[in-house]
Chain A
Amino acid sequence: MRKLLRYLADYKKECLLGPLFKMLEATFELFVPLVVASMIDRGIGGGDKPYIVRCALLMALLAAIGLTCTLFAQFFAAKAATGFSAKLRRALMEHIQHLRYADLDRLGTSTLITRMTSDINQVQTGVNLTIRLLLRSPFIVVGAMIMAFTVDVKGALVFAVAIPLLMIVVFGIMLLSIPMFRNVQNKLDDVTEITRENLIGVRVIRAFRRETAEADRFREENAALVTMQERVGRLSALMNPLTYIIVNGAVIALIYIGALRVHAGFLTQGAVIALYNYMSQILVELIKFANFIITVTKAVACGNRIQAVFDDAEPVAEDAETIETGVRGEIIFDHVSFTYEGAGAPSLTDISFTAKRGDVIGIIGGTGAGKTTLVSLIPRFYEPTAGSITIDGVSSGEFPRQALRRRIGIVPQTAVLFHGSIRDNMKWGNADASEADIETALRTAQAWDVVQAKADGLDEQITEGGHNLSGGQRQRLTIARALVRKPEFLILDDSASALDFATDAALRRALREIPEHPTVFIVSQRTASIQHADRILVLDDGHLAGCGTHGELLESCAVYRQIYDSQFAKEVQ
């Protein structure tokens, strides 16, 4: 959490002035019981009506000054807290933009989203309240106690007993209940999870006729949740009655001691009332402070989680945006191996091959053979753990990431489009693309008819995640998006899986006809999709089991033949 405070650096003035004004307000508040006491003793005791009026006016004045101080304080607090959270959010977003794929894998999307949203909101509330209350509450408690001592030392001794007792009760209950509340939250998450499962898995649940069993499972968890809620409820329900007993016990003691002291002539009636008033001020402030501590504890926990994201992963440094290379469209893998972070075994072992401009390279292999991993190394999403990759004559480790990725059009396995129009999505590939560029790309990707079929054409709005399009339509649009940038390298990562054979074949033909002659990598499980490639890489459990043309591989590569036979055997006969 501490390191996050640097985002408060621009708000030093607010952080200083806020609490200061709060303390000023508190000081004025502390004088009120004294004024009341003297109003009673001098005013009523002496029958001095003008004095009484003067006292009342003084009280109103104190209130007005107090209000002005608070207004300033609240303003500074709000400004610092919201400014802080905006800066923090910005910094975290920027951090995420530059995280390595390996770190994204490890941190997980939902974690990052929670950090960006609810965690930061909590921290904002925490900062706001801290500026407002951190100094004020203890100041009033201590101040009221000191004031009480100035009124009467013996009477004030009651405070010395009551306040620690109150603190023990308030903080004791809090400390005991916080972990219980956390358990309740976890249980609630379980209940939420079951609900979600039942919605997402509805077809399977109904097909397997598990509706009743699922509802029972839900009820069980739900009942467990209620039991936990009631348990913690019983504990926290003690807070109010116990503090009430302590405070009123103190009042009883105060009045009795006061009675003795007045009887002996050490104290006036007004002073007893003043002591009584200080007591109530302390109670109000302590309860506020307890709530404040709860909020701040939560905020600090959230802050630490956010901090962990910053500490956990070092973002990649911004690098140069351009680089001049002599060659274009050439990739050389030289004994490349790769192991995912934390994985026991390598995902790629000793891969070597060369691709020249305009080549179509097919990559085939079973589930988990390392196909996606291989193409992920090309745009430097991951760095090889051994061996080297040379792109356009430059060692990939030295190729600036931005410049490299600008030369690559990639179509990921899952076809994701973004909120906005189809045109907006196409411009992801190239912000300066002309209408003609977009149309060409769409035609090549066999997606022009998809756009034509939409009422608004290119301006058709895509909802979040692109759920208003079918899987195949999404896939074709993502292919077009990659083509819009006229890439030097085009990577299709199993991105024709939702296409029927006719469309798939038409797409492959169109890719060959692109005038820029990109080097194309086609990852697939279907031999039909890659058999016309200039070279096919056959991956088997991370090893390169074969490399060559369809014909060569049928002759020489057992793994390839097996894959082919499993799909075509009967047709070939």
Chain B
Amino acid sequence: MAKQSPFARKQTIRRVLHYLKGHTFPLILSLLLAVVTVTLTLYVPVLVGKAIDCIESEGNVDFSAITRILLTVGISVGVTSLAQWVMSILHNKIAYHVVRDIRNQAITRIEHLPLAYLDAKPTGDTVSRMISDVDQFADGLLMGFTQLFTGVLTILGTLFFMLSIHPGITLVVLFMTPLSLFVAAFITKRTYSLFQAQASLRAEQTALINETVTNQRIVQAFGHEKQTLSDFDDVNDRLADTACRATFFSSLTNPCTRFVNALVYAAVGMTGAIAAVNGRISVGELSCFLSYANQYTKPFNEISGVLTELQNALACADRMFELIDTPAEIPDAENAAVLSEAKGDVSFDDISFSYVPERPLIEHCSIDIHSGQRVAIVGPTGCGKTTLINLIMRFYDVSGGAIRIDGEDIRDVTRHSLRGNIGMVLQETWLRRATVRDNIRMGMPDATDEQVIAAAKAAHADSFIRRLPQGYDTVISDKNGALSQGQRQLLCIARLMLCLPPMLILDEATSSIDTRTELKIQSAFQEMMRGRTSFIVAHRLSTIREADVILVMRGGKIIEQGDHASLLAADGFYAQLYRSQFAGNG
């Protein structure tokens, strides 16, 4: 748990309160109900004490008084129960709704986060901020707050009732209280550091498990099982040791406070009984005191628990706000135009770009592409081919110069309309957990079944889809791994076939498809690319050769451009690449 400055903490609390604004009425009502509940709960032992006083000895019982008192007890109990029930429902409502609102806000933010943030942050981290942190925050902060409130109320109420019965014995209770607090604090402190040690060992072990179990096949292929087990044993033994101590210490809190409680109980019993002998207190009042003494320290323990809980919740709230506060990508310019059916002239006008400022990647690069041209991007691994695509799609913005489509700076048109003009198939074949049909319909949610099937046929995906267990209604999931990479890629192509925009980006779109199937799709691709400006990242020279413009990239720079013949004639890097594929081929 990160230590916060008091100022930052106040800031966090203020923001949390902001979320409660819409729930002012239920909140106030629930606080009022808490007051009712606590008061009546404390009043019942007083009544019971009075009733006991009416039962003095044989033949000496005041039945009319007892009936009256017991009736009052009955009514109080009824009211308390009702108040308790309504209160919990209100609490739930507030907590769940706040959580819902925060998550809804977070997803809206996620949809507009810059790619730079999402590419840099592990997915798991963002997911945990959104799911478990929000839950912990709600549990800890909202529940903690009500517990704190009723806890303090109970303590004050108990003191009040005790004082009104007998100040002297109340002092006995008051003197014993710090003892209980001290014991609880001592144990909590010990436990906290042990728990932290346990948490970090658990994390270490989980990382190891994650890595090895995920790659179990490789572990076995390299006969690394023994080594893996011995690494595991090492962490496991350390964890077992720490876990044992952490568990033991944390389980001490209850017995120890119970012991202190029992001492308080005995002390109250003794002083109370002596006071009763001296006639300063009735037996019923003593019984009432005893029942208070039994419960009095409980809220103290709860409060100390709640305080750590609150700390934790605030830390979670911080992580959560951090996500919500991450600046969204620069919004579309206010007067941004809507790019309707683009013609497809694309020009890179002296652009520069880098992911990290210290390491410039693309510098002063200019290219002109005319409507309907096919542009192939070639180069060794990691040369920045994907970066160009990131820029055209405006996943990232250039740091210098401008990319223009039909003469218009793409920063002056809405992202929505820009992306609507570009269709994309990427090497990584992302499909969502939904039916095949819904996945194909992604770009055009209201497409008819006929359109979906036509698109699938064009992508040569129809025949394998039909062979899936539920055909077009088969749900795609990572779990069964039913689809091969190639099949997934075919679905991505079908998805694009359904809504053909004026420009295309194909980033290794067929890398996982076998060449015979690819050959079949090729004609559909040719048809698709006719009249559309297309950017193609590919390894296969057959695809590259047919391009109108070939951009040869190396180390983030475009080092050569031209068509196949002219580049070969120039005998530069491209010619070298080209020959290497056919090295030894005569």
Chain A contacts for B266, CB-based, 8 A: 56-57, 59-60, 63
Report whether B516 and A563 are in contact in the complex, using a CB–CB cutoff of 8 Å: yes
Flag if A56 contacts B269 (CB, 8 Å).
yes
The segment from B236-244, B356-364, B368-376 found at the interface with A is: B236-244
Q: Are A470 and B382 in contact (CB under 8 A)?
A: yes
Cross-chain contact B511 with A276 (CB below 8 angstroms)? no
CB <8 Å contact, A567 and B84: no
How does the 8 Å CB contact mask read for B59-88 relative to A, with 1 for contact and 0 for none?
111010010001001100110111011001
Q: Quick one: which of A48, A230, A568 contacts B96, CB cutoff 8 A?
A: A230
A461 shortest CB reach to chain B, Å: 14
From B419, B511, B540, contact of A206 by CB (8 A): B419
Partner of A502, one of B48, B244, B514, B580: B580
A193 contacts across to B, CB distance below 8 A:
433
Contact B583 A505, beta carbon cutoff 8 Å: yes
Which residues from chain A contact B205 at a C-beta distance below 8 Å?
117
| Cβ-neighbour of A203 out of B216, B265, B426 (below 8 A) | B426
Q: Is the CB of A273 within 8 A of B52?
A: yes
Number of A-B contacts (CB under 8 A): 425
Q: Please tell me if B157 contacts chain A, counting CB pairs below 8 Å.
A: no
Chain B interface size band reads 35 or more
Stretch with Cβ within 8 A of B (4 or more), from A80-88, A297-305, A351-359, A433-441 = A80-88
Which chain A residues in 119-175 approach chain B with CB under 8 Å? 124, 128, 132
Q: Mark B475-511, 1 if CB is under 8 A from A, else 0.
A: 0000101001111000000010001000000000001
A248 in contact with B126 (CB, 8 Å): no
Shortest Cβ distance from A408 into B: residue: B221
Task: Name the residue on A nearest B382 (C-beta).
Answer: A470
* Cβ distance A569 to chain B, nearest Cβ, rounded Å: 7
Q: Contacts of B215 on A, CB cut-off 8 Å?
A: 416, 418
B244 touches A82 (CB 8 A): yes
Q: Which residues of B contact A554 (CB under 8 A)?
A: none
B interface: dominant SS: helix
- A-B contact list, 26 entries, CB within 8 Å: A43-B277, A44-B273, A56-B273, A59-B269, A62-B262, A66-B258, A67-B255, A74-B251, A86-B239, A112-B216, A195-B107, A195-B130, A196-B127, A201-B430, A203-B393, A211-B111, A212-B111, A215-B104, A219-B104, A233-B88, A259-B66, A367-B487, A405-B221, A410-B221, A505-B580, A527-B515
A residues within 8 A CB of B251? 74, 77-78, 128, 132
A residues 205-234 near B (Cβ < 8 Å) are: 205-215, 218-219, 222-223, 225-226, 229-230, 233-234
A59-B262, A229-B96 as given contacts; A222 in contact with B539, CB under 8 Å: no
Q: Mark B426-458, 1 if CB is under 8 A from A, else 0.
A: 100010110000000011010000000000000
Contacts A82-B244, A202-B118, A245-B81 given; indicate if A36 touches B269 (C-beta within 8 A): yes
User: Digit string of B79-119 for contact with A (CB within 8 Å is 1, else 0)?
Assistant: 01110110011001100110110011001101110010010
- Distance A7 CA – B223 CA, assembled complex (angstroms): 27
* Residues of A contacting B: mostly: helix
B35-75 Cβ-contact flags toward A at 8 Å (1 or 0): 00000000010001001101111111101001000100110
| Among candidates B118, B224, B381, residue contacting A503 with C-beta atoms closer than 8 Å | B381
Question: Are A49 and B233 in contact, CB atoms less than 8 angstroms apart?
Answer: no
> Interface with B: A263-271, A324-332, A383-391, which one?
A263-271
In the complex, what distance in Å separates the CA atom of A244 from the CA atom of B221? 62
For A101, what are the chain B residues with a Cβ–Cβ distance below 8 Å? 217, 220
Give chain A interface residues in 83-124, CB to chain B under 8 Å.
Answer: 83, 85-86, 89-90, 93-94, 96-99, 101, 104-105, 108-109, 112-113, 116-117, 124
B240 and A86 contacting across the interface, CB-CB below 8 Å: yes
B506-561 interface with A by 8 A CB criterion: 511-519, 539-542, 545
Known: A229-B92, A248-B77, A500-B539. 5 other contacts (CB 8 A): A97-B216, A113-B213, A244-B80, A258-B55, A262-B55
Q: Contacts A381-B221, A431-B227, A503-B380 hold; do A233 and B85 have CB atoms under 8 A apart? A: no
List chain B residues, Cβ under 8 A from A565: 519
Are A226 and B256 within 8 A (Cβ)?
no
Q: Are A196 and B255 interface neighbours, CB within 8 A?
A: no
Q: Does B181 contact A (CB under 8 A)?
A: no
A367 near B512: Cβ-Cβ < 8 Å: yes
Is the C-beta of A497 less than 8 angstroms from some C-beta in chain B?
Answer: yes
- Report whether A230 and B92 are in contact in the complex, using a CB–CB cutoff of 8 Å: yes
Nearest first, the 3 closest Cβ-Cβ pairs linking A and B are: A366-B514, A472-B381, A367-B486
How far apart sit A505 and B585, CA to CA, in the bound complex (Å)?
11
- Is residue B577 within 8 Å, beta carbon to beta carbon, of the partner chain? yes
Q: Which of B99, B273, B481 contacts A52 (CB 8 A)?
A: B273
Within 8 Å CB of A563, what residues of B?
A: 514-516
Smallest CB-CB separation from A241: which chain B residue?
A: B81
- Whether, in the assembled complex, A40 has its beta carbon less than 8 Å from a beta carbon of chain B, the answer is yes
Q: How distant is the Cα of A78 from the Cα of B84 in the complex, in angstroms?
A: 36
Residue of A nearest to B478 (CB): A110
CA separation between A149 and B516, bound complex, in Å? Answer: 88
User: Assuming the A-B contacts A44-B277, A97-B225, A244-B77, are A108 and B479 also in contact, with contact meaning beta carbons closer than 8 angstroms in the complex?
Assistant: yes
In the complex the two chains form, what is the Cα distance from A246 to B580 in whole Å?
A: 87
Q: Give the size category of A's interface with B.
A: 35 or more
Please name all residues of chain B whose beta carbon is closer than 8 Å to the beta carbon of A244 when the two chains form the complex.
77, 80-81, 84
A393 is an interface residue with CB less than 8 A from chain B: no
A247-306 contacts to B (CB < 8 Å): 248-249, 251-252, 255-256, 258-260, 262-265, 268-270, 272-273, 276-277, 280
B459 at the interface (CB under 8 A from A): no
Set of chain B residues within 8 Å of A233, measured between Cβ atoms? 88-89, 92, 96
Residues of chain A contacted by B379 (CB below 8 angstroms): 500
Chain B positions within 8 Å of A500 at CB level: 379-381, 539, 577
Q: Which residues of A contact B545 (CB under 8 A)?
A: 570
Q: A240 near B88 (CB under 8 angstroms)?
A: yes
**Cβ–Cβ < 8 Å partners of B219 in chain A:** 97
Partner of A251, one of B48, B100, B127: B48
Taking a contact as CB atoms under 8 Å apart, the answer to whether A269 and B57 are in contact is yes
Q: Quick check: B131 and A66 within 8 Å, CB to CB? A: no
Contact B221 A210 (CB under 8 A): no
Q: In the assembled complex, how far is the CB of residue B122 from the closest CB belonging to chain A, in whole angstroms?
A: 9
* Contact present for B107 and A218 (CB under 8 Å): yes
B468 to chain A, nearest CB (A): 12
B19 within 8 A of A: no
A132-B251, A464-B207 known; A429+B259 contact, CB < 8 A: no
- A562–B517 CA distance with the chains assembled, in angstroms: 10
Residues of A within 8 A of B108 (CB): 215
Query: Residue B218 at the A interface, CB < 8 A?
Result: yes
Query: Is A64 an interface residue when CB atoms closer than 8 A count as contact?
Result: yes
B229 interface residue per 8 A CB criterion: yes
Q: Closest A-chain residue to B110, C-beta based?
A: A198
Closest residue of B by beta carbon distance from A464: B211
Q: A36-B290, A256-B66 are in contact. Are A66 and B259 (CB under 8 A)?
A: yes
Q: Does B155 contact A (CB under 8 A)?
A: no
Asked if A183 is an interface residue, CB under 8 A from chain B, the answer is no
Q: Note all chain B residues with C-beta closer than 8 A to A66.
A: 255, 258-259, 262
Residues of chain B lying within 8 A (CB to CB) of residue A258: 55
Report Cα–Cα, A113/B518, bound state, in Å. 38
Complexed CA–CA distance, A1 and B370 (Å) = 69
Do A368 and B484 touch (CB < 8 A)? Answer: yes
| Residue B123 is within 8 A (CB to CB) of chain A in the complex | yes
CB pair A208 B442 closer than 8 Å:
yes
How far apart are the CA atoms of A53 and B77 in the complex, in Å?
35
Cα distance A482–B48 when bound, in Å? Answer: 81
Whether A265 touches B58, Cβ cut-off 8 Å, given contacts A229-B92, A252-B70, is yes
- Bound CA–CA A526/B511 (angstroms): 10
Q: Report the bound CA distance from A222 to B108 in whole Å.
A: 13
Let me know if A214 and B111 touch, CB within 8 A: yes
| Residue pair B576, A502 in contact (C-beta under 8 Å) | yes
Q: With the chains together, A240 CA to B322 CA distance in Å? A: 37
Contact partner, B223, options A86, A99, A268, A406, Cβ 8 Å:
A406
**Residues of B contacting A55 in the complex (Cβ-Cβ under 8 angstroms):** 269-270, 273
Say if the beta carbon of A525 comes within 8 Å of chain B.
Answer: yes
Q: Which residues of B contact A98 (CB under 8 A)?
A: 225
